[in-house]
């Protein structure tokens, strides 16, 4: 799976052909670090996964991805 950020710092999945699909998420901002943490449900090829995607909003980049299930 490949992830990207939208112009509005939303987490999106890159799908075939380079198109992106914005993923539904619940998020919270860690004001001390400027990092927004998104809880994202995604469907893999064989199973569903819950991911925590950390986004540095000031740098417009994904800082980390952790899998919970």
Residue 1 confidence (pLDDT): 85
Confidence check: pLDDT of 8 > 90: no
Residues whose CB falls within 8 Å of the CB of residue 37, separated by 6 or more in sequence, listed in order? 27, 28, 29, 30, 52, 53, 54, 55
User: What is the domain partition of the chain in residue ranges?
Assistant: 25-69
Longest dimension (CA), the chain: 38
Report the range out of 16-20, 45-49, 52-56, 57-61 with the highest average pLDDT: 52-56
pLDDT (tens digit, 9 = 90+) per residue, 16-44?
888 999 999 999 999 999 999 999 998 87
pLDDT at position 18: 86
Contact 40, 11 (CB under 8 A): yes
């Amino acid at each position: 799976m490949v992830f990207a950020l939208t112009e509005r710092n939303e987490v999106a999945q890159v799908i075939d052909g380079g198109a992106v699909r914005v993923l539904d998420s619940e998020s919270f901002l860690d004001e001390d670090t400027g990092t927004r943490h998104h809880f994202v449900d995604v469907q893999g090829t064989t199973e569903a996964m819950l991911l925590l995607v950390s986004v540095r909003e000031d740098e417009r980049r994904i800082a980390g991805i952790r899998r919970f299930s």
